[in-house]
């Protein structure tokens, strides 16, 4: 979902190798819904990872709620990707 020139060459080579070996059409075609899911992960899920780490280390009482929010978002993303990848 980010411009390709932002990635180091080694990551671009790794992506190309993965798509050649696995034939993953989501990585080769990059449909619009897949890019949307990636943006949700960047904007919502990644910050929640750091908030949850802080909640674990500081024993915060809201930790269960943020973990549930992260889990629901991750589960929804994975279900959509699974449904799209089944022929």
DSSP reduced 3-state for 60: coil
Measured distance CA(62)–CA(83) in Å, rounded: 32
Q: Is the pLDDT of residue 58 over 90?
A: yes
pTM above 0.85, yes or no: no
- pLDDT 10s digits, 17-45: 988 888 877 877 888 888 888 888 888 88
The alpha carbon of residue 39 and the mean position of all alpha carbons in its chain are separated, in whole angstroms, by 8
Among 38, 39, 37, 46, which residue's Cα sits nearest to residue 69? 46
């Amino acid at each position: 979902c980010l411009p390709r020139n932002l990635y180091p060459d080694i990551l671009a080579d790794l992506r190309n190798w993965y798509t050649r070996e696995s034939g993953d059409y989501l990585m080769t075609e990059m449909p619009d819904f897949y890019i949307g899911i990636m943006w949700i992960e960047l904007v919502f899920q990644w910050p929640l990872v750091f908030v949850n780490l802080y909640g674990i280390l500081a024993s915060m009482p809201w930790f269960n709620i943020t973990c549930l929010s992260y889990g629901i978002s991750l589960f929804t993303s994975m279900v959509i990707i699974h449904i799209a990848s089944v022929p």
